[in-house]
Structure 1
Amino acid sequence: MKIKEYRTQFINELTPIYDAGEAESFFYLILEEKKQLKRIDLALHPDLVFSEEEIAVWNSILEPLKKEIPIQYLLGKTSFYGLEFEVNENVLIPRPETEELVDWISKSNSKIERLKNLKILDIGTGSGCIAISLAKNIPNAQVFAIDVSEKALATAKKNANINTVNITFINQNILEVASLSAVEGLNQQFDIIVSNPPYVRNLEKEEIKKNVLENEPHLALFVEDNDALIFYRKIAELAQKNLSPNGQLYFEINQYLGKEMIGLLEKMNFKNIELRKDIYGNDRMIRSEV
């Protein structure tokens, strides 16, 4: 079968579930991964064909896509901030909004001479996308990363190897820590602490797409409605003790809780608080200093 013919069939089968543009983007992602062909290659060579074996592989991906399994899990990888990351059911799929947070931190610190050897701690690292991207983009930084999930840390370690960065990974439930200094390997001061913790309230589940709700780890997504800032409050408390003078605290946040986050940080005497919107116009990240 000609690839162009299969492309039409592939998109038609997915359009009851996804819009045509998204279905088409899936096709070209798989085409590049499985056959190392880009859109331009197909345009220049319209008579290219799939073998029966290749069609079987494509159909094995098409069927779970129709069940709304994320394509990143099906391909086993995704791109984030110009880097490649392995992803699976044990970690969240990195989002563009999180790239914006990494970009903010990186551009604010990569050229500061006095912070040439700055120490960074990523709390709730998941796939390691934040920690690894910062290690790659801030020269000579020492980067540490914590997660409660051993399976997530195993994935993060693979990603650190893929991207050739050296990161100290620690398995720890941050809510059970009285002080970072009590955790082996973290008895020191940090210049930057960053976290993208669970922040989706149960009451917001109806806003979550089915492919996320049914496939991505709830441990990394949801918090109880009656204490939605539990992770932020705890991490801010730890940061007060373990950030160096003028050290920076960065969070990705729930878009509905920007004012509450400002209030929390003000109450805890953080200074230079800055709330930023993401590319979609939602309150999404916040920065402060001790």
Structure 2
Amino acid sequence: MRVKDLRVDFISVLSEIYDDVEEVHSFFYILSEKFLGLKRVDVAISLDMIVPAEVIHDFVQAQKLLQSHVPIQYVVGDTEFYGLPFIVNPAVLIPRPETEELVDWIIKDYHTSRTGGLFKKEPLKILDIGTGSGCIAISLAKHLQNAQIFAMDISEKAIEVAKANAKLNNVDIRFVLSDILNSDTLPDDFDIIVSNPPYVRDLEKKEIQPNVLDHEPHLALFVSDTDPLIFYKKIAELAKDNLIANGILYFEINQYLGSDTQLMMEHKGFESVQLRKDFYANDRMMRATKRTI
């Protein structure tokens, strides 16, 4: 089988499952790079290349997974976040572009502070709560090289993935296996605490695509309708004791609960609480400063 025949068959089968034909094409090119070492631009000049039998087998297996709406990142086992490579599997959420914006906010705040802004001392101590794949903690470690980074998660399997990603990206992270909802304190005092906790309400499941709903870890995604801010409240309470004076708390938040989250943080005693929209114009991030007495 030649590359052009493989492409026709692959796209024909998956176009019956996926409405977006461009998405199906993107799957083919991702797999071509993974299995054939051909980038998208190379495929166009390699259409008559004979595909080895073992590679055809790999494509068929990947196609079957995609027919079941397994995310392409899980199919290939990796993704990119903030320009860095990350291993991903069903034990961890697939990193989102919106979370890159949160990381970028922290990094830009840090560099701005070098001329007299938010952070007054070095090395900074930073805690990432609910680290998952480690994408936030590792990206910060890569770009804030003097920072001491801690990363916490309830899932032992997630910690294993995050440790592998730290090794892959050659950064030093202290990992902590802990259930934040049942924690009485944090492992140290910090200049920055950041978290992208579960925030999707059960009532919002109808908005979630099958590839997410059926395959990504619900433990890292969903909260009850009755107490959707449960993680934010707990983290804010702990941060009152374990953030240094004028320490900063950063959150990724539910787009529908921006005002509620902001009001809660103010009631918890934080100041300069700022909402920020993502590139889709949704309330997605929050920054708050620990009030000094």
Correspondence 1:76 to 2:77? yes
Correspondence 1:249 to 2:249? yes
Q: Which amino acid aligns with 1:84?
A: P
Identify the residue that residue 181 of structure 2 maps to in structure 1.
175
Q: Which range moved further: 269-278 or 104-113?
A: 104-113
Alpha-carbon distance between aligned partners in 1 of 2:12 and 2:218, rounded to the nearest angstrom: 31
Q: Is the 8 A contact 1:277 1:284 kept in 2?
A: yes
- Structure 1 residues 149, 217: closer, same or farther in 2, change over 3 A? same
Identify the residue that residue 131 of structure 1 maps to in structure 2.
137
Following TM superposition, by how much is the alpha carbon of 1:116 offset from its aligned partner in structure 2, in angstroms?
Answer: 3.6
Following TM superposition, by how much is the alpha carbon of 1:89 offset from its aligned partner in structure 2, in angstroms?
Answer: 1.0
Identify the residue that residue 203 of structure 1 maps to in structure 2.
203
* 1:73-127 CA distance string (max 9 Å, x none): 1111111111111111111111111111111111111464444410100000011
Q: Is the 8 A contact 1:42 1:48 kept in 2?
A: no
SS in 1 for 2:226: helix
Alpha-carbon distance between aligned partners in 1 of 2:169 and 2:97, rounded to the nearest angstrom: 19
Identify the residue that residue 214 of structure 1 maps to in structure 2.
214
Alpha-carbon distance between aligned partners in 1 of 2:93 and 2:121, rounded to the nearest angstrom: 30
SS in 2 for 1:84: strand
Alpha-carbon distance between aligned partners in 1 of 2:168 and 2:33, rounded to the nearest angstrom: 19
Alpha-carbon distance between aligned partners in 1 of 2:47 and 2:64, rounded to the nearest angstrom: 25
Alpha-carbon distance between aligned partners in 2 of 1:137 and 1:111, rounded to the nearest angstrom: 14
Given the two structures, how large is their TM-score scaled by the length of structure 1? 0.95
SS in 1 for 2:51: coil
Q: Is the 8 A contact 2:36 2:55 kept in 1?
A: no
Correspondence 1:13 to 2:19? no
Alignment of 1:23-172 (within 5 A): 23-110=24-111, 112-113=113-114, 114-172=120-178
Q: Is the 8 A contact 1:70 1:211 kept in 2?
A: yes
* 1:154-198 CA distance string (max 9 Å, x none): 111011000000000000001111222xxxxx2x32110000000
Q: Which amino acid aligns with 2:150?
A: F
Identify the residue that residue 226 of structure 2 maps to in structure 1.
226
Following TM superposition, by how much is the alpha carbon of 1:52 offset from its aligned partner in structure 2, in angstroms?
Answer: 2.3
Alpha-carbon distance between aligned partners in 2 of 1:151 and 1:158, rounded to the nearest angstrom: 11
* 1:216-249 CA distance string (max 9 Å, x none): 1111111111000000000011111111111110
Identify the residue that residue 183 of structure 1 maps to in structure 2.
none
CA RMSD after TM alignment: 1.2
Q: Which amino acid aligns with 2:138?
A: I
Alpha-carbon distance between aligned partners in 2 of 1:121 and 1:110, rounded to the nearest angstrom: 18
Q: Which runs of 4+ in 1 moved over 6 A?
A: none
Q: Is the 8 A contact 2:3 2:46 kept in 1?
A: no
Q: Is the 8 A contact 1:109 1:115 kept in 2?
A: no
Unaligned runs of 5+ in 2: 115-119
Alpha-carbon distance between aligned partners in 1 of 2:23 and 2:122, rounded to the nearest angstrom: 42
Q: Which range moved further: 201-210 or 41-50?
A: 41-50
Identify the residue that residue 258 of structure 1 maps to in structure 2.
258
Following TM superposition, by how much is the alpha carbon of 1:286 offset from its aligned partner in structure 2, in angstroms?
Answer: 0.6
Q: Is the 8 A contact 1:116 1:141 kept in 2?
A: yes
Identify the residue that residue 117 of structure 2 maps to in structure 1.
none
- Structure 1 residues 111, 266: closer, same or farther in 2, change over 3 A? closer
Alpha-carbon distance between aligned partners in 2 of 1:253 and 1:116, rounded to the nearest angstrom: 28
Q: Which amino acid aligns with 1:237?
A: E
Q: Which range moved further: 71-80 or 109-118?
A: 109-118
Alpha-carbon distance between aligned partners in 1 of 2:207 and 2:264, rounded to the nearest angstrom: 25
Query: What is the aligned residue count?
Result: 284
SS in 2 for 1:212: helix
Following TM superposition, by how much is the alpha carbon of 1:51 offset from its aligned partner in structure 2, in angstroms?
Answer: 2.0
SS in 2 for 1:256: helix
Alpha-carbon distance between aligned partners in 1 of 2:121 and 2:30, rounded to the nearest angstrom: 39
SS in 2 for 1:250: strand
